[in-house]
């Protein structure tokens, strides 16, 4: 098995991406064959997440899916998770919460931390919980696509993840926004209704607005706060 420690000397497999899923199914089949139950998918239940869940269910019906439940998500996001649970009853969906409740966080760091220190808020409510969720597993899956932003355009299928001392598998790197939606419509998958209301990228409610720039799908995330990533994908 490829482990983080042996990364430097390991020859990574290559995957064709001139097929229907642009390599995603091949990557997932390899990853679950390699890591078995030692891999989790950290899913935000945005539309890319729905595509990945459908593809994962073809490879491993009882895969473990982790949702970083900050307690600050939109009602529509929680409704989407319920729809996914109905459609894929064998998936193991874990709602991973931060150790601090919102009240405890407010007592220790002040009210509405996301307004005056969003990086600290993301660290407490996303980064640390993901680190805990990845403890004891070798690899994790992410729905990053190269097209999403300049910070993501060099992502590979299989990435050494120094931040979490893990291996990050990104099956959708070659998918475009159009590919994602074509797949969802073709397979009639459930998705977050906020996507139909101008939200291409959906995170926590206090930090997500409809996209400000139609050419920048993530322009509604932390708009006006000089922040573009929650910290999960930054070394």
Residue 91 vs 121, nearer CB to ligand SF4: 121
**One residue of 34, 54, 206, 233 binding ligand SF4 per CB under 6 A:** 206
Q: Is 59 in the site for ligand SF4 (CB under 6 A)?
A: no
Q: What b/e sequence results for 26-45 when a residue is b if at least 16 CB atoms lie within 10 Å of its CB, and e otherwise?
A: bbbbbbbebbeebbbbbbbb
Is 43 annotated among the ligand-binding residues? no
What is the Cα–Cα distance from 86 to 221, expressed in whole angstroms?
29
Chain residue whose CB lies nearest ligand SF4: 204
| 170 noted as active-site residue | no
Does position 218 interact with ligand SF4 (CB under 6 A)? The reply is no
Q: Is 71 annotated as a binding residue?
A: no
Could you please report the per-residue DSSP string of 77-138? HHHHHHHHHHH-TTSEEEEE--SS-HHHHHHHH-TTHHHH-HHHHHIIIIIHHHHHHHTT-S
Binder among 44, 57, 70, 219 for ligand SF4 (CB under 6 A): 70
Per the annotation, does 122 bind a ligand?
yes
| Minimum CB distance to ligand SF4 smaller for 119 or for 177 | 119
Chain centroid, CA 91 distance in Å: 16
Site residues (CB under 6 A) for ligand SF4, limited to 93-132: 114, 118, 121-122, 125-126
Handedness of CA 46, 140, 226, 113 (dihedral sign): positive
Are 172 and 48 within 8 A, CB to CB? yes
Which residues carry a binding-site annotation for [4Fe-4S] cluster? Answer: 121-122, 204, 207
Which residues of this chain interact with ligand SF4, rule CB under 6 A? 70, 72, 114, 118, 121-122, 125-126, 203-204, 206-207, 230
- Residues with catalytic annotation? 230
């Amino acid at each position: 098995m490829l482990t983080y420690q042996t990364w430097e000397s390991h020859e990574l497999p290559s995957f064709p991406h001139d097929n229907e899923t642009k390599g995603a199914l091949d990557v997932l089949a390899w990853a679950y064959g390699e890591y078995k139950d030692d891999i989790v998918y950290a899913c935000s239940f945005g539309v890319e997440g729905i595509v990945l869940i459908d593809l994962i269910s073809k490879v491993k019906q009882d895969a473990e899916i982790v949702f970083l439940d900050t307690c600050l998500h939109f009602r529509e996001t929680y409704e989407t998770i319920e729809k996914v649970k109905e459609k894929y009853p064998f998936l193991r969906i874990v709602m991973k919460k931060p150790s601090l409740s919102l009240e405890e966080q407010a007592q220790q760091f002040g009210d509405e931390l996301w307004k005056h220190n969003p990086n600290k808020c993301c660290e407490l409510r996303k980064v640390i919980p993901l680190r805990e969720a990845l403890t004891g597993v070798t690899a994790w899956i992410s729905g990053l696509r190269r097209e999403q932003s300049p910070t993501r355009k060099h992502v590979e299928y299989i990435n050494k993840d120094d931040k979490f001392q893990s291996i990050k598998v990104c099956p959708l790197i070659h998918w475009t926004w159009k590919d994602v939606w074509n797949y969802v419509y073709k397979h009639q998958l459930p998705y977050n209704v906020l996507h139909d209301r101008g939200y291409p990228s959906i995170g926590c409610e206090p930090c997500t607005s409809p996209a400000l720039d139609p050419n920048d799908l993530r322009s509604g995330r932390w708009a006006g706060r000089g922040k573009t990533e929650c910290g999960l994908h930054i070394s």
